[in-house]
Structure 1
Amino acid sequence: MKAFIKTILAFDPSQDEEGGILGLVNAYYGTVEAQGRGTLHCHMMVWVAGSLNPNEIKDKALENGGNTEFQERLIAFLEDTISTSVPADSDRCDLETPLSKFHPCATRGPGPNINPEDQEAAEQRDLHKLAERCQRHRHTATCYKHWQGYSELKECRFDLDKANETPVSVFDPETGEFTLRTLDGLVNNFNETMLRAIRCNMDIKFIGSGPAAKAILYYITDYITKSQLQAHVAYAALEVAVHRLGDFNPEEDDLSSRAKRLLQKCAHSLISKQEMSAQQVVSYLMDFEDHFTSHEYVNLFWTSLEGFINSEDPSPECYPKKTTLLFPSSLDSIDGEPTSEPSLDDSPAITADDETMRLTMDASGKLVPTATQACDYQKRGELLENVCVWDFVAQTEKEKLKRSQMFSAGSDDESDDEDQADGPEGTANLSNESPWTKDNILDFDGKMPRVRFQTAHLQDDTHTIKVRSYFRRKIPVPIGPALPRRDTPASEQKHARLMLVLFKPWRHASDLRQTSQTWLEAYHLMCPPNPSS
């Protein structure tokens, strides 16, 4: 996979002109999983530079009554990239290649001993054999395992059928949805260069519509998260583990050690029932990756941030009540009136006191207090004053200082100036001599600074904020319940508040909105709504 990424995709963050066979690649994300037979394969999504999202493609294709130039260019690119039929075989019947004796996947192509004048014909035959053996679908019992009998139409569950042919790629003039041509309904889509290189079955799909994007994301996430252990087997294994632990004896058993033994026995019992293929075991022992990413990721615990803001500015409108109708117990009674009950919200507010400090274990095994992400952001140094939560999480990290670098508790560092010049080497000081400013701190081209926390921070004397350059920026991953939706009236205020919390710099709730404003009004001031939407 590394060779595929390096040579076929030609991913290189430093280049800005040339790319691989798909063009200039901005990002990729791939996961490795095992199918029923145990063989490993990778599901990968690739983002191409300059590509448009499904809504932008639709708007571009339909602008001015139909942008035919854009449609033709997109169709030409996709038809050149994605093949939907088996290429024709070479007309050289007398041509001898290794493919004549072996399966095409077991060879490395025509071979080095082909005469130069026969090279083109040999490569054409190689591609034909590969596509015919790897890409053409052949129906088996697996295709119809969900078929309920002759009472319903018998269809291949992979939606591969000779009748599924579309001779021409088209844009729907009303919806703007794009349909790629399908010249052979029994052939999985493939890219010729990729097929020649990897020499195994593959599939490639252009995500050009909202439904297609949702479908492919659901397929990938469902595929890679499916349990390899059936539920009834798991429960049986847990039952065996509990029985092996025996009855509790208060005179001999300690609750803590007993709980640990129970967890250990349950884990061992489940693992012993887990079926793994030889390929999976070898991949693990060889320390091969189970996923491939172009970027690094960092967790963003948004519920603690939201809880802190809610503790300073309680917002009942963000937690609407549900109306429950009480039906009369008999048809003669009609006095039942609706009553309102608080909604069981998925993400209840977390108070600042609960989320100010957590306990972690240091290298010596001692429990030590540590500040949360919300506390780190709220008490960041002055140099990071204009940085929002999203950028703070993406381009900074809390770094533990060496003992020789730690700030003295009795020194002048206890002052309100949070970016001290006499801190550890490299710590930024907001002064006239400093090359960093509040406005250029994240885009600075040069050595990145370390910024000291405010003195009120729990770990001010032992930790500092290390700022990463833009090119080493990580992608925040929101951790918590489902994010509130902006298209639902019941959650639009909560969505607006969360967007302000994440993308507008603040230290207190009063920095996000004025007293007379709703969260939605404050959000629209920061991000004016699109009149056309």
Structure 2
Amino acid sequence: MEIGSPMASMYLLGNPDHYASHTFANFPWRVYVNFVRKFWSDASDVPSEFREDIPEDSIALQNNIGQIVGASVVDNYCFRPLIYENLNLYEWIQCHQKKQLNNSERLALLEERANREEYMKDFTPSDIRSETDDESLSSFLEEDIDLPDSDTESIESNETTWSVSDPDEIIVEKHLRHEKLVTIIKHLCIGKHTQRDTHGVYCDFTRLQNVIPNFIGGAIPRSDKGDREFYCTTILTIFKPWRNPEDLKDTTSTWDQTFTEHQFSDRQKELINNFKLRYECNDARDDHYQTLQKKNAEARGKKPRGNEYTWRKYDKF
């Protein structure tokens, strides 16, 4: 009785209870950065007792067709389908979706993978990097799309986009068409991913415009203060495509050197500058607080000296 009829009708029709221009996707960025840092820490010549204690990724246990397997968000990105080879971590968080396949989808994709030599091996990230220059792999990537890009764009622009002026039934119909268009383009994970035979991955690139990664695990480190190497590691992990931590930098280069030499896109530069806004606001707040405290002290007849105050001496009348 406490639920209004519009809310009840939207629930029964399967429509969302609110509409917004942007949505958020959880992004546990420290998990990926710690994975990269731990790899390079183990690969260094520093004795183990002097190495930094870096926490490992926690693995979630899931029921995978009657078997309990561990699922890691890092593995989802490292063993992503070859078609998404050049997708960086920030874009991956925005647009990727991993769904469990039904029997018909799973059998069809497994049969398709068995017929291609690129999927006949258990790839490791280093093997994948060395195979990307082969002509056979290049031709495979061109053919491994269920719908051509031109057809996808035309369908998206003409049949799946809706406006406020559309009637409700038209909006629902176009929404279903959009869901069908996105879900049919599924690909299997590669390598030693624990769910490579049971789950499919697809990327809806329209989500790049209205999905914002929600950084979980604290704020991004500062660029002007603190550990510079940690900051460069974080930014490169987020914005440079990689499968293995070795893809991010050379063994002879520091993270700062690699960060300086890497060519970021204009959009990535804009995002990196936006990361600084929080700290700039905090600095401005602290400066304003200190200025206000100084003015209040002077108004009360005190002369500030460090963190202490001394009373001004006045001549007696």
Calculate the TM-score normalised by the size of structure 1.
Answer: 0.33
Cα distance, 1:368 vs structure 2: 3.3
Q: Distance in 1 between matches of 2:189 and 2:96?
A: 12
1:302 aligns with 2:13: no
Q: Which runs of 5+ in 2 are unaligned?
A: 9-15, 45-49, 121-139, 157-180, 271-317
SS at match of 2:69: strand
Query: Is the contact between residue 110 and residue 197 of structure 2 (CA under 8 Å) also seen in structure 1?
Result: no
Q: Which residue of 1 aligns with 2:187?
A: 451
Q: Which residue of 2 aligns with 1:480?
A: 217
Q: Distance in 2 between matches of 1:307 and 1:416?
A: 34
Q: Which residue of 1 aligns with 2:92?
A: 392
1:375 aligns with 2:75: yes
| TM-aligned CA distance change 1:383 to 1:495, over 3 Å | same
Cα distance, 1:464 vs structure 2: 0.8
Q: Distance in 2 between matches of 1:418 and 1:500?
A: 29
Q: Distance in 2 between matches of 1:291 and 1:474?
A: 16
SS at match of 1:417: helix
Cα distance, 1:410 vs structure 2: 8.7
Q: Which residue of 2 aligns with 1:359?
A: 61
Give per-residue Cα distances to partners, 1:127-149, cap 9 Å, x unaligned.
xxxxxxxxxxxxxxxxxxxxxxx
Point out which structure has higher relative CO (alpha carbons under 8 A, 6+ apart).
Answer: 2
Give per-residue Cα distances to partners, 1:18-51, cap 9 Å, x unaligned.
xxxxxxxxxxxxxxxxxxxxxxxxxxxxxxxxxx
Q: Which residue of 1 aligns with 2:141?
A: 430
| TM-aligned CA distance change 1:316 to 1:453, over 3 Å | closer
Q: Which residue of 2 aligns with 1:350?
A: 55
Query: Is the contact between residue 378 and residue 506 of structure 1 (CA under 8 Å) also seen in structure 2?
Result: yes
Give per-residue Cα distances to partners, 1:391-421, cap 9 Å, x unaligned.
11111110110022224899673676259xx
Cα distance, 1:505 vs structure 2: 0.4
Q: Which residue of 1 aligns with 2:245?
A: 509
SS at match of 2:30: helix
| TM-aligned CA distance change 1:381 to 1:418, over 3 Å | farther
Give the helix-richer structure, 1 or 2: 2
Q: Distance in 2 between matches of 1:416 and 1:497?
A: 35
Q: Which residue of 2 aligns with 1:311?
A: 38
| TM-aligned CA distance change 1:283 to 1:430, over 3 Å | same
Q: Distance in 2 between matches of 1:411 and 1:392?
A: 26
Query: Is the contact between residue 41 and residue 51 of structure 2 (CA under 8 Å) also seen in structure 1?
Result: no
SS at match of 1:398: strand
Cα distance, 1:463 vs structure 2: 0.4
Give per-residue Cα distances to partners, 1:266-310, cap 9 Å, x unaligned.
xxxxxxxxxxxxxxx957998599976321211112122112212
Q: Distance in 2 between matches of 1:373 and 1:387?
A: 15
Cα distance, 1:520 vs structure 2: 1.5
Amino acid at match of 1:358: A
1:417 aligns with 2:115: no
Query: Is the contact between residue 379 and residue 453 of structure 1 (CA under 8 Å) also seen in structure 2?
Result: yes
Amino acid at match of 1:477: N
Amino acid at match of 1:312: F
Amino acid at match of 1:475: I
Q: Distance in 1 between matches of 2:42 and 2:146?
A: 41
Amino acid at match of 2:76: D
Q: Distance in 2 between matches of 1:315 and 1:495?
A: 19
Q: Distance in 2 between matches of 1:465 and 1:502?
A: 20
Calculate the TM-score normalised by the size of structure 2.
Answer: 0.52
Query: Is the contact between residue 388 and residue 505 of structure 1 (CA under 8 Å) also seen in structure 2?
Result: yes
| TM-aligned CA distance change 1:358 to 1:513, over 3 Å | same
Amino acid at match of 1:296: T
Query: Is the contact between residue 444 and residue 469 of structure 1 (CA under 8 Å) also seen in structure 2?
Result: no
Q: Which residue of 2 aligns with 1:79?
A: none
RMSD: 4.5
Cα distance, 1:435 vs structure 2: 7.5
Give per-residue Cα distances to partners, 1:357-391, cap 9 Å, x unaligned.
421368x9x78324222100000111101000111
1:404 aligns with 2:104: yes
Amino acid at match of 1:483: I
Amino acid at match of 1:417: E
| TM-aligned CA distance change 1:390 to 1:315, over 3 Å | farther
| TM-aligned CA distance change 1:432 to 1:397, over 3 Å | closer
Give per-residue Cα distances to partners, 1:58-106, cap 9 Å, x unaligned.
xxxxxxxxxxxxxxxxxxxxxxxxxxxxxxxxxxxxxxxxxxxxxxxxx
Which protein is bigger by CA-based radius of gyration?
1
SS at match of 1:311: helix
Q: Which runs of 5+ in 1 are unaligned?
A: 1-280, 318-340, 420-428
Q: Which residue of 2 aligns with 1:519?
A: 255
Cα distance, 1:515 vs structure 2: 1.4
Cα distance, 1:444 vs structure 2: 6.0
Query: Is the contact between residue 396 and residue 466 of structure 1 (CA under 8 Å) also seen in structure 2?
Result: yes
Amino acid at match of 1:495: Y
